[in-house]
Amino acid sequence: MRHLLSAADLDVRDAVRILDTAGQMAATQAREIKKLPTLRGRTVVNLFFEDSTRTRISFETAAKRLSADVINFSAKGSSVSKGESLKDTALTLQAMGADAVVIRHQASGAPHTLAHAGWTSGAVVNAGDGTHQHPTQALLDAYTLRRHLVGDGGRGDVTGQDLAGLRVAIVGDVLHSRVARSNVQLLHTLGAHVTLVAPPTLVPVGVEAWPARVSYHLDEVLADDKPDAVMMLRVQRERMSSAGGGFFPSPLEYTRGYGLDARRIAALPEHAVVLHPGPMNRGLEISADAADSPRAVIVEQVANGVAVRMAVLYLLLAGESSPAPTTKVDA
């Protein structure tokens, strides 16, 4: 593994290896001294073209817990806002000796370009690009699911295990969601059955090709499928009005059809868990009752995110020093 760009790049062996490594990383995070010397002397750059405090802090914490040096680069207020290109930014980071670049970009495919254009010799980690992919989010969701639902409900040792046979419902704005895309691929790779639940207007074209079932009725899915986990997606409020595309008539109608509330939680099987990538719109896609219910593992997802990102940085950076870039940099 040289880069982590998409959940589709991972086969089941890679994915399970990352989850196992994350498990060991999580164990170190329960200790009094959480910092490990593993990546001492390595430099990780957080290159964020789009605001995302929680993802950036999660990657920053992960890198620092492994003793890497962290440089945070936010496009706002930087030369990018003055018109500098991704290429020039990448060349600057290369000159500063970045061993890994964690990139969040509003354009789908920007991490792929950065990884393959030969502008940087470092490992590239996709921290969310446009509506395309957010692989570490999918990994932390899979880690959370494995912890709770595999191996005797989280009491046994789950090392080496995948998610075979689990039923997961992903509910909400699938159309705009990189979290949904990454999760569908990764959960399928790990053997889980995924059902996408969304209003017809928020289902992307070409969804038939995805390894998932599609339903427009949340209550039916909860009653018939008895999902082991429900993953709620964030709905952007600005997308609801007709100015934002008019994807649904009103917030109230969306909440009635697709919001997770106490009644729907009660319809879930005893062991089922509720996930949300955050930040939540309480009262829109998830009610306060549901968000605070014991089934919700949303806060734990945040902690698991650090362990998973530590694992990814370890697996990308700890091995043999990366070879020189394949293409010559012609400045």
Asked whether the beta carbons of 182 and 163 are under 8 A apart, the reply is no
- Compute the distance between CA of residue 75 and CA of residue 89 in angstroms, rounded to an integer: 10
Q: Is residue 25 within the footprint of another protein (CB under 8 A)?
A: yes
Q: Which of 164, 223, 318, 324 binds another protein (CB under 8 A)?
A: 318
Shorter beta-carbon distance to another protein: residue 164 or 318: 318
Asked whether the beta carbons of 67 and 39 are under 8 A apart, the reply is yes
Least distance (Å) between residue 314 CB and another protein: 7
Shorter beta-carbon distance to another protein: residue 123 or 284: 123
Q: Is residue 12 within the footprint of another protein (CB under 8 A)?
A: no
Q: Is residue 242 within the footprint of another protein (CB under 8 A)?
A: no
Say how many residues touch another protein, by CB under 8 A: 21
Shorter beta-carbon distance to another protein: residue 41 or 206: 41
Q: Which of 211, 201, 193, 142 is nearest to 174 (CA)?
A: 201
Q: Is residue 69 within the footprint of another protein (CB under 8 A)?
A: no
Q: Crossing angle, helix 135-149 and helix 298-317, to 10 degrees?
A: 120
Only segment of 29-37, 88-96, 126-134, 273-281 that touches another protein (CB under 8 A): 29-37
Please list every residue from 258 through 317 that binds another protein, using CB under 8 A: 314-315
**326 annotated ligand-binding residue:** no
Compute CA distances 61 → 58, 124, 299, whole Å. Answer: 5, 17, 16
Least distance (Å) between residue 115 CB and another protein: 18
Least distance (Å) between residue 41 CB and another protein: 8
- Compute the distance between CA of residue 87 and CA of residue 68 in angstroms, rounded to an integer: 24
Q: Which residue has the tokens 């509910």?
A: 171
Q: Is residue 207 within the footprint of another protein (CB under 8 A)?
A: no
- How many CB atoms are closer than 10 A to CB 243? 8
**42 annotated ligand-binding residue:** no
193-197 and 100-105 beta bridge pairing: unpaired
Q: Which residue has the tokens 């000159």?
A: 95
Q: Is residue 20 within the footprint of another protein (CB under 8 A)?
A: yes
**55 annotated ligand-binding residue:** yes
Q: Which of 8, 9, 12, 38 binds another protein (CB under 8 A)?
A: 38
Q: Is residue 324 within the footprint of another protein (CB under 8 A)?
A: no
- Compute the distance between CA of residue 299 and CA of residue 74 in angstroms, rounded to an integer: 26
**132 annotated ligand-binding residue:** no
Q: Is residue 161 within the footprint of another protein (CB under 8 A)?
A: no
Shorter beta-carbon distance to another protein: residue 70 or 315: 315
- Compute the distance between CA of residue 180 and CA of residue 183 in angstroms, rounded to an integer: 5
Which SS3 state, helix, strand or coil, does residue 252 take? helix
- Compute the distance between CA of residue 123 and CA of residue 109 in angstroms, rounded to an integer: 16
Q: Is residue 92 within the footprint of another protein (CB under 8 A)?
A: no
- DSSP bridge partners of 171: 197, 232
Binding residues for L-aspartate: 82, 178, 234
Query: Can you give the binding site for another protein, defined by CB under 8 A?
Result: 17, 20-21, 24-25, 27-28, 31, 33, 35-38, 66, 159, 314-315, 318-321
